[in-house]
A and B are shown apart, each in its own frame.
Chain A
Amino acid sequence: TQLLEQSPQFLSIQEGENLTVYCNSSSVFSSLQWYRQEPGEGPVLLVTVVTGGEVKKLKRLTFQFGDARKDSSLHITAAQPGDTGLYLCAATLYAGGTSYGKLTFGQGTILTVHP
C-alpha cells in the first residue's frame, strides 16, 4: 500500500505551458516537503509546508498544502526546459517520538519540458 500517492508519474509538456503535480494521502501529514532531482544527483529541497491551507511561492512554483493536511500540490507556471527533472513529494506522517524526521516519499513525477 502506497501511503503517499503522487500523480501524474510522467508529464511531457511544451515550454510555456502550466502544470500541476499532486500528492495525496489518507493520513494527516505533520509536514510535507517537495524536492527536485536531476539525473545523477541527489534531491534538492524546494519547500517545506507545515500549516493546513498554507501557500508558498518560489518564483514560478506555487506549493499548496490542503486544509486537512492530507494533500499538497505543486503548480509550475510557464514551464521552461530547465524545470525538467524528477519531482518528489515527501511527508512526515507522524510527529515527534522517534521518527527523527523519517520521510515517506511519493512515487515521483518525471517532468520533461520541451523547447
Chain B
Amino acid sequence: GAVVSQHPSRVICKSGTSVKIECRSLDFQATTMFWYRQFPKQSLMLMATSNEGSKATYEQGVEKDKFLINHASLTLSTLTVTSAHPEDSSFYICSATRGGLAGGPYEQYFGPGTRLTVT
C-alpha cells in the first residue's frame, strides 16, 4: 500500500497563535512531499514542495515565513502556520511521492487532510 497520514485532522485555534500539521508516509519513503490548500468545492492549490534535508520550494504568492515547512526525514514533513488569522482557515492536504524510478511515473498519495479553523 501507500498510506499517508496527517495529524491533526481538525484544529481550532485563536488568531495570532501558531499551528503545526504533521504529514507522514507510513509504509514507504517519500522522495518528496507536497503541501496543498483547498477551498470548498475547488481543486487543490499547491503551496510548496518539500524535500528531505533541503529548503522547501514555495509557489508564487505563498508566504514562506507564514507557512514554515520542515522535512525532517523521508517519512515526515511538517507545516506550521504561524500567527494564524481567520483568512488562513482552510483544508490543508499533504501528499507524498514515490516512483520515478528508471524513468517511470511518479505517483502522489494524499493524506486525509487537516481542517484548520482560526477564530
Chain A residues within CB distance 8 Å of chain B: 6, 30-31, 33, 35, 40-45, 48, 50, 86, 88, 90, 92, 95-96, 99-103, 105-108, 110
Contacts and interface: CB of A to CB of B under 8 A. Distances in A.
A32 to B, nearest CB: 9
Given A43-B44, A106-B43, A108-B42, A100 B97 contact: yes
Contact of B49 (A50, A90, A102): A102
Nearest to A31: B105
Interface in B1-32: 4, 6, 31-32
B107 interface: yes
Interface in B79-113: 91, 93, 95, 97, 99-100, 103-113
Contacts, number: 74
A48 B44 contact: no
18 contacts: A30-B105, A33-B108, A40-B113, A43-B93, A43-B110, A45-B107, A45-B110, A90-B108, A92-B106, A99-B106, A100-B31, A100-B49, A101-B100, A101-B105, A102-B34, A102-B46, A106-B43, A107-B42
A75 to B, nearest CB: 20
Q: How large is the interface on B (under 10, 10 to 19, 20 to 34, 35 or more residues)?
A: 20 to 34
Interface of B: 4, 6, 31-32, 34, 41-44, 46, 49, 51, 91, 93, 95, 97, 99-100, 103-113, 115
Q: Which 3 A-B pairs have the closest CB atoms?
A: A101-B106, A42-B110, A31-B105
Contact of A88 (B32, B44, B106): B44
Nearest to B43: A108
B38 to A, nearest CB: 9
Contacts of B104: 50
